[in-house]
Amino acid sequence: MQLALDLINGDRLRQFYQLTKPRVVALIVFCAVIGMFLATPGMVPPGLLAAATAGIWLVAGAAAAVNCLLEQTIDAVMMRTRARPLPRGELSSLQTLVFAGVLGGVGLWILYHFVNPLTMWLTFGTFVGYAIVYTVLLKPLTPQNIVIGGASGAMPPVLGWAAVAGEVTPEALLLFLIIFAWTPPHFWSLALYRTEDYARAGLPMLPVTHGRRFTVLHVLLYTLILFACSLFPFAYGMSGWIYLAAAVVLGGMFLRYAVLLHLDYSDALARRTFRFSIAYLSVLFAALLVDHYLRF
């Protein structure tokens, strides 16, 4: 009852909304929706599209809220995150837990009843992978946290594909592989110019444990891996020349950023690389969608 009353309050509603990390979740949902459309040569039924999108958004928001709950002491000492509702004392742990439980429960219910059980279970597994395995086990224990934990972040197009196709096919796994390879250079670019923040919080991010030169080298290596992975949809026959051209151009731009970071590092360049990485993934998947429908 109190949670319902809190949600009526505009300021409180904004605070709960911030718990869901809306910008991150927007990219997750975007990739999931692309996966839905790529799974069929025609159009996705509107009811299925709405239900799958809503269910995945709600569960992703719940996972983000649980992440905020578990990391509130860490968030309080990091400049990037100390303005979040929990470190500021605007929301309590109990409020956050109840909110995440309701959000996630409703999302899983929608996926089970209006999409299919496979998508519900895959989404639940993704929730556990991010909120528990990555946040609790990997992030505080190993500098390879983002590489291993990236499996959860790479799941959205697979969820979308399963929602429409009712199965996980090799094409869905190729989309997974692209995001899995994209995650390390994306996140390490952020970690490079936020190294002091992570060190202050006691988190073993790669720039903290192995230094800048080691990290920028790995950004470059993983960007090369990403470039190769981005060509797989064309090599497998699930895309055409439009996508291939976009993948080569975007991959070349990402590689340029990675090489510049390796040769002449600056925090400003790392910040630009991080921002470009977000645009890279969005445009790459959009190009894949355009190519898909032009071919059919």
Enclosing domain of residue 188: 169-296
Q: What percent of the chain has pLDDT over 90?
A: 82
CATH of the domain at 89: 1.10.357.140
CATH code: domain of residue 235 = 1.20.120
Q: pTM of this prediction?
A: 0.93
pLDDT higher than threshold 80 for residue 107: yes
What are the tokens at 80?
């990037």
Residues 75 and 215 in one domain: no
For the stretch 206-222, pLDDT in tens is 999 999 999 999 999 99
Q: What is the pLDDT of residue 149?
A: 86
Q: Is the pLDDT of residue 188 over 90?
A: yes
Q: State the pLDDT at residue 280.
A: 98
Last residue of a domain, one of 135, 166, 197: 166
Q: Which amino acid is at 69?
A: L
Same domain, 146 and 238: no
Q: Verify that 22 and 161 share a domain, yes or no.
A: yes
- Which has the closest alpha carbon to 28: 190, 201, 154? 154
Is the Cβ–Cβ distance between 266 and 189 less than 8 Å?
A: no
Provide the pLDDT confidence category of residue 11 given band limits of 50, 70 and 90.
confident
- pLDDT on residue 79: 86
Last-in-domain residue among 132, 166, 200: 166
Q: How far apart are CA 200 and CA 213, in angstroms?
A: 20
Total Cβ atoms within 10 A of residue 93: 12
Average pLDDT over the chain, rounded to whole? Answer: 94
- Shared domain for 145 and 273, answered yes or no, is no
Closest CA to 273 of 216, 224, 227: 216
Residue 296 in this model has a pLDDT that exceeds 70: no
- Per-residue pLDDT reduced to its tens digit, 117-130: 999 999 999 999 99
How many domains are there within the chain?
2
